[in-house]
Structure 1
């Protein structure tokens, strides 16, 4: 049967581990938030680039001979 001192040591180790896990969790939450913001920014830039490409595609002349060999 474990002694009282053994139980106290074990509880102290558990509390220390709990604090370590809390700090790790906080750091991971910060990373998730940072990466989510980066993802949102990249999505926004992608959508803006797609919109610019769509505008450029609309400006291209329509070739009435498309698909035909003109010689």
Structure 2
């Protein structure tokens, strides 16, 4: 009888290990899916950030120079030449 008891215990442990293995495989699959989704989201956000930076850079280039500098845009010369300022 001791041999059959030991075999039963081993069989039970193997069954528990198989159940645990299947659980871990499902968890791993879900984690891989989450990683893929987060990677896509990160790439999308990086792309949007790059586009936003380009828009900000374009807006900054359109701003006039600081007061007192010689790089005044024509719009400022037009206003001051009319005497509106």
Aligned pair partner of 2:46 in 37, 43, 46: 43
Flag structure 2 segments of 5+ consecutive residues without an equivalent: 70-85
- Greater relative contact order structure (CA < 8 Å, 6+ sep): 2
Runs (4+) of structure 1 exceeding 4 A deviation are: none
Larger radius of gyration: 2
How does the TM-score come out when normalised to structure 1? 0.86
Which of 19, 31, 36 is equivalent to 1:33? 36
Tell whether 2:25 aligns with 1:59. Answer: no
> Structure 2-normalised TM-score?
0.72
Give the aligned CA root-mean-square deviation in angstroms.
1.5
- Unaligned residue ranges in structure 1 (runs of 5+): 67-71
Number of equivalences:
66
Q: 1:24 aligns with which of 27, 30, 39?
A: 27
